[in-house]
Amino acid sequence: MPEPREASDSPDPESPNPESPDQDLAASDPRRRDNRLAATFDRLVRRDIFGVNAAVLLFLLAPLAFGYYARLHWLAHSFPPDSRYYVTMTLRDLGWSDAHALTKQWTDGGNIAESWYFAHSDPTWLMVQSRMLYPFFAAPFVLVFGLGEGMPIASMVAFAVMLWAVARLVQRLYGPTAALAAGAVLGACGFMMNLAEAVTDPVAIAVLALILLNLPLGRRARAHNLVLLVLLSVLLELSRQVMPTAAVMAFFAWAWATVFPGRGRSRRWRNDWLWPSAIVAGTTVFVHLLEGQISGRGAGSQMSQVTSDPTHIAWTITRYDVLSTVQGDRALSVLLAGALLFALIRFTDIVSGLLLGAIAGTYVIMIAGIEPSDMRYESIMFPVAGLAVGALFHHLAPASLRGGVVGDGTLRSDRLPAVDTWWQRGPRRIPVLGASAVVGLAVLVGWSATHGSQSMAGAVPTAPAAAAALAGDPHASLPDHTIAAEAVLSSEFTEAEKMAKGAGSAFLLYADWRHPMRYRPLAPDQPGWNHRGADGTAVLYPGDLDDSDWTALSRAFTYNGTLDPKSVKVTSRQTSAYGQDVTFTVTAGGTVHRGHATVVYPIRAVMPGIVTEMVFDS
């Protein structure tokens, strides 16, 4: 055993001494200090944070955070018309009453939404009702930051998760440099700012990116990956109806792994992609069909919008999106062009299969929407495009910048580590993960179904006025002010006449966006002609009409522009606290026509009366 050193006044040359002149000199030497800082920084940037190189994560998230800060404080409004549903659902998830949630949505979001917007008979609500993930996810952000900032911050967090997931996946396959390239292109896209608002798209995109992260890309999917794929596939359908993208992407990936198994491997359909692909495709399809059955809208209700010429619709949307993207979002152009270029030069790569499947599935969603969505529908496939861009960078980059191997579908199962993740370190942890997923889904669905996603009304009639305003229902709201029915009808006919003549018009203001409206079509080119009832009238949802429909509707309201708005005369009237039901006469082309109408008093001060029924007698 060594003897202890005796105390000595002379310093030990081996031990550091803060009072040593040499140490003072070293500390004051800028070059040595810089070297230590450089070594510390080098150790930092070589570390991974949540599976992503620290420097890469900093370069990706810091500019994004600054951009989001600027958007919140100086830039665009964050509440598009669709947000009226999600804001109201979030407030109801937080325990707000329906009336207070609707008023707060109008005050802060600026979009009109009444209780009949959440009626179980409304087709739009039936589509939105199951989108419970984003409102549930946004609730704590609203609780902390308030409605104005909490809703968009939730979307921003979702986008950050998406960017991290893509960067982690690309780094796992191709190294940190490729991850930086893929993440930089994704982060620079304008949609990262444009869609950072109170809509469901960012959450759906983030969930799809997490699905990618758990697929067998460059490695075999383990038990915990399969459990997470089930959970994420359910969450994807609870965020937005994007089943075609996920299902077709999964099927294409399995098909690519079967047809192009990689060098030295035989083709077999029971490959490493079979179960992951079957889980994603099967779960999303099953949940989509289940949602349709529960809501009563039936499977494939979105597909019913597709006309007899899907090719023309696809070409029109593609042409519009390509031109608008090239002109307005150069980074997005690079993202999509780079992804397609990779699929062209590396067609047999499993990443190409994922990309082409995502594109094919997304086209189904695009065509179902009939009109261009300014890349909202297409955005669901952007994480796959980011993966393809990372693969392209790796394929074209010089050897010095390559940090991984190109994922050509070959899975080296013999090189898998005995312990893949924390979830593989105990026999009970996979069942715990599965049970936790089930409990989490039960809490999400159970709470949302009884709060934010619960319908406020059943079938909404068009008349009489009190019933049309849901009088007697706890969700009914007393009107802001009253107005005579003849004044409303005269103003509506005036605006309809302007629209029929091609002039600027406020005709749309007299029909609420989601309240059903009954009228009598006069010609086959007018909306609802093919859906008339026995009395010759049709019930429309004004929000479902396009521009040409409104022009045709204005012709029906004015007898092809011959009606005199000043000739309206009420012959009988029934008045309630919510509106008026009247019979009237009006002159059109020298002929007196009779009709009956229902006018609901305006609930909001800035709105005119709502005409829910306007029928000329046959």
pLDDT tens-digit readout, 587-611: 998 899 999 999 999 887 777 889 9
Tokens of 130: 């199951």
112 contacts 106 by C-beta, under 8 angstroms: yes
Residue 375: exposure state from Cβ atoms within 10 A (0-12, 13-18, ≥19): buried
pLDDT at 11 exceeding the cut of 50: no
Helices and strands per DSSP (H, E), number in the chain: 22, 8
Q: Which amino acid is at 96?
A: W
Alpha helices (H) in 94-132, listed in sequence order: 98-104, 123-128
Residue 418: exposure state from Cβ atoms within 10 A (0-12, 13-18, ≥19): exposed
| Listed ranges 66-80, 150-164, 479-493; the one with the highest mean pLDDT | 150-164
Of residues 70 and 301, more confidently modeled:
70
What is the chain's mean pLDDT, rounded? Answer: 85
Cα separation, 184 vs 335, in Å, equals: 10
Of residues 372 and 580, more confidently modeled:
580
Average pLDDT of 449-456?
A: 94
pLDDT at 212 exceeding the cut of 90: yes
Can you give the pLDDT at residue 561? Answer: 87
pLDDT at 35 exceeding the cut of 90: no
- Cis geometry, peptide bond prior to residue 464 (ω within 30 degrees of 0): yes
pLDDT at 407 exceeding the cut of 70: no
Classify strands 517-519 and 610-616 as parallel, antiparallel or unpaired: parallel
Cα separation, 131 vs 445, in Å, equals: 10
Confidence band, pLDDT 50/70/90 cuts, at residue 578: very high
Mind listing the pLDDT tens digit for each residue in 342-396?
Answer: 999 999 999 999 999 999 999 988 888 777 788 888 999 999 999 999 999 998 8
pLDDT at 413 exceeding the cut of 60: no
pLDDT at 70 exceeding the cut of 80: yes
Of residues 144 and 35, more confidently modeled:
144
Q: Which amino acid is at 23?
A: Q
Average the pLDDT over each of 114-118, 404-408, 433-437, 610-614 and give the range with the smallest value. Answer: 404-408
Average the pLDDT over each of 33-47, 137-151, 408-422, 541-555 and give the range with the smallest value. Answer: 408-422
582 contacts 613 by C-beta, under 8 angstroms: no
Cα separation, 321 vs 336, in Å, equals: 11
Can you give the pLDDT at residue 218? Answer: 84
CB under 8 Å to 53, separation ≥6 — which residues?
45, 46, 47, 171, 176, 179, 180
Cα separation, 465 vs 601, in Å, equals: 8
Average the pLDDT over each of 101-115, 161-175, 261-275, 316-330 and give the range with the smallest value. Answer: 261-275
For residues 447-465, one letter each, b for 16 or more C-beta atoms within 10 angstroms of the residue's C-beta and e for the rest, the string is: ebeebbbebbbeebbbbbb
Q: How many CB atoms lie within 10 A of CB 322?
A: 12
pLDDT at 4 exceeding the cut of 60: no
Cα separation, 33 vs 602, in Å, equals: 72
- Nearest by Cα to 195 from 85, 110, 80: 80
Can you give the pLDDT at residue 276? Answer: 95
DSSP string spanning 465-491?
HHHHTTTTSTT----S----HHHHHHH
Tokens of 239: 């965020």
pLDDT at 242 exceeding the cut of 50: yes
Share of the chain above pLDDT 70, in %: 85
Cα separation, 431 vs 116, in Å, equals: 43
pLDDT at 420 exceeding the cut of 70: no
Residue 270: exposure state from Cβ atoms within 10 A (0-12, 13-18, ≥19): exposed
Give the strands of the sheet with 579-588, arranged side by side.
538-540, 517-519, 610-616, 591-600, 579-588, 569-576
512 contacts 470 by C-beta, under 8 angstroms: no
Average pLDDT of 469-488?
A: 83
Cα separation, 609 vs 515, in Å, equals: 12
Residue count (the chain): 618
Residue 580: exposure state from Cβ atoms within 10 A (0-12, 13-18, ≥19): buried
Cα separation, 30 vs 39, in Å, equals: 14
Alpha-carbon distances, residue 113 vs 143, 473, 603 (angstroms): 21, 16, 10
pLDDT at 37 exceeding the cut of 70: no
Tokens of 477: 């709201």
380 contacts 245 by C-beta, under 8 angstroms: yes
Alpha-carbon distances, residue 612 vs 289, 303, 545 (angstroms): 33, 28, 15
pLDDT at 40 exceeding the cut of 80: no
Average the pLDDT over each of 294-308, 458-472, 555-569 and give the range with the smallest value. Answer: 294-308
Of residues 267 and 594, more confidently modeled:
594
Q: What are phi and psi of 421, to 5 degrees?
A: -145, 180
Q: Which amino acid is at 533?
A: G
Share of the chain above pLDDT 90, in %: 55
116 contacts 457 by C-beta, under 8 angstroms: yes
Q: How many Cα neighbours within 13 Å face the side chain of 9?
A: 0
Of residues 508 and 19, more confidently modeled:
508
Cα separation, 448 vs 144, in Å, equals: 20
Cα separation, 202 vs 376, in Å, equals: 10
Residue owning tokens 């407030």: 91
pLDDT at 100 exceeding the cut of 50: yes
Tokens of 48: 């991974």
Residue owning tokens 């949540």: 50
For residues 331-355, one letter each, b for 16 or more C-beta atoms within 10 angstroms of the residue's C-beta and e for the rest, the string is: bbeebbebbbebbeebeebbbbbbb
Cα separation, 91 vs 97, in Å, equals: 8
Can you give the pLDDT at residue 47? Answer: 81
pTM, rounded to two decimals: 0.85
